[in-house]
Amino acid sequence: MNQNQRAMVVLISGSGTNLQAIINGVESGAIPGRIAAVLSNKTNVKGLERAEEHGIPTIVLDHKAYDSRESFDQAMIDAIDEHNPNLVVLAGFMRILTEEFVNHYAGKLINIHPSLLPKFKGLNTHQRALDEGEAIHGCSVHYVTFELDGGPIIGQRSVAIETNDTADLLAARVQKEEHILYPLACKLIMEGRLSLEKDGPHLDGNLLPATGQDFSQLEQWEEF
């Protein structure tokens, strides 16, 4: 592995299907960079197995072993910074972050969220979209700020809600879209085509709209 390549650290709490999509993107050469480490706040999760299977160093920091959110986040900063990442990727990392953590990685911390933000911040997004009678739902990638699920949006992919949809069916369809959207966002950032500027995210030198780039029509994300 070329240690001079730009580096990502990926944070997970669970199954890591988005992590897997990013690993696939790196291994195929579509994402120019390496995953320097995967950090989990939970032991024995599938995402850690995925990292190990692909020879990626893992870090487990159990948040329950820390007496405050601040001390846990500081331990994460210390562990992440050993890898000097260009990008920190939250991939199903289910912890609220301190302002200090978010500020420390300002402009290089991204998250994927299972809704078309700014709609349905927080949890149970699929059921809430059904309950509200939405026609369209989806996922968003955004830069992380201290406002929960509220940072500048990079891009989205949408799915149509069908008459007999359940939260589980909808979640599965949205996750398929996440697995296209998230590696694409990582690729664009690692290529230097996407960045957070003072007025918002820029793609290829152009300021993106408030809901980011609509990547819904894209089939071959690797070629974008």
Residues near ligand GAR (CB under 6 A): 12, 14-18, 47, 91-92, 112-114, 175, 178
Q: Which residue sits closest to ligand GAR, CB atoms considered? A: 92
- DSSP one-letter code for 62: -
Q: How far is the CB of 175 from ligand GAR (least distance, A)?
A: 5
113 labelled catalytic: yes
Question: Closer to ligand GAR at the Cβ: 14 or 151?
Answer: 14
β pairing state of 109-113 and 206-207: unpaired
Output 5 or 134, the one with its CB closest to ligand GAR.
134
Minimum gap (Å) between residue 4 Cβ and ligand GAR? 28
Task: Closer to ligand GAR by CB, 51 or 208: give it.
Answer: 51
Rounded distance, CA 79 to CA 67, Å?
Answer: 18
Q: Choose the catalytic residue: 104, 113, 126, 142.
A: 113
Minimum Å distance from CB 178 to ligand GAR?
Answer: 6
Q: What is the DSSP letter of 209?
A: P
Q: Closest by alpha carbon to 26, among 40, 11, 6? A: 6
Angle at 208 between CA 207 and CA 214, to 5 degrees: 155
Q: Provide the minimum distance between the beta carbon of 212 and ligand GAR in the complex, in angstroms, as a whole number.
A: 15
Q: How many C-beta neighbours within 10 Å does residue 42 have?
A: 18
Pick the closest to residue 114 from 127, 132, 102 (CA basis): 127
Give the residue with the Cβ less far from ligand GAR, 94 or 207: 94
Tokens of 165: 């949809």
* Closest separation in Å from C-beta 57 to ligand GAR: 19
Q: Between the CA of residue 42 and those of 46, 84, 158, what are the distances in Å?
A: 10, 23, 30
Complex with ligand GAR: residue 166 or 197, whichever CB lies closer: 166
How far is Cα 12 from Cα 160, in angstroms, rounded to an integer? 28
**What are the tokens at 155?**
């891009």
- As annotated, the active-site residues are 113
